[in-house]
Each structure stands twice: as C-alpha cells, then as structure tokens.
Amino acid sequence: MKLVHTARHPAEAHLVKGMLEAEGIRASVLGDQLYGAYGELPVLPTVWVLDNALAAHADGLVVDFLRGGAARRHGHDRWTCTHCGENLEGQFTDCWKCGATRPSTSQSART
C-alpha cells in the first residue's frame, strides 16, 4: 500500500478513493473513523493505493482531481450549496459540509 493523499475531512478522502476506483485503481481510506477523535490533535483521513506500482499514476490523478481537472473535463462549474451556502468544486455531487445533493439543473443555461 502507498499513501497518495491526506484529506482534510473524510468526505474528501472518499471522493478521492471513488475517483481512483473509477480510474480502475483500487484504493482504501484509513483514519476516517478516527477523524476528530483526539480533540486538539487532528487525525486526518488518508487515501492509500493498494497496488504500489500504480501509486505514481494515482498521485497524478489525485493532483489533477484536486486542482479541478476532473471538473474542467466534465464541464462543471463551482456551485453553491442551497442548504448551507458552502461553495463547492464542480466535481462534488454532494455538499461535503451538510450532505445535501447538488441541485441538478440550477447551473445549466437554458435557451
């Protein structure tokens, strides 16, 4: 196993894992159950690639993903959660803060 990403919160870790698995790379999230368990000591969830040979490729995918590369490829714009007002990257389909689902058509231009 190789560490490819330290996430800021469990939802991000699972998004990265899902992205990697969509690319055919088996990944695992560790530490998401411990998130916040130690009070002042932040325990951040980490994403691991099971096949070390794919770690370098996975690294590139994660960097691209976090920079919004996936969003650009899919033509998604940033969106604002209608429930809590959080501003989110286009690749997120759910609000990581409150869990609300992205409104499906509000961002689409209608002609």
Of the residues 9, 46, 100, 102, which one makes contact with Zn ion according to CB under 5 A: 100
N residues, the chain:
111
Question: Smaller CB distance to Zn ion: residue 55 or 100?
Answer: 100
Helix, coil or strand: residue 6: strand
Closest to 81 (Cα-Cα) out of 64, 63, 103: 103
- The one-letter code for the residue type at 69 is G
Question: Smaller CB distance to Zn ion: residue 56 or 84?
Answer: 84
Give the footprint of Zn ion on residues 58-97 (CB under 5 A): 81, 83-84, 86, 95, 97
**Contact footprint for Zn ion (CB under 5 A):** 81, 83-84, 86, 95, 97-98, 100
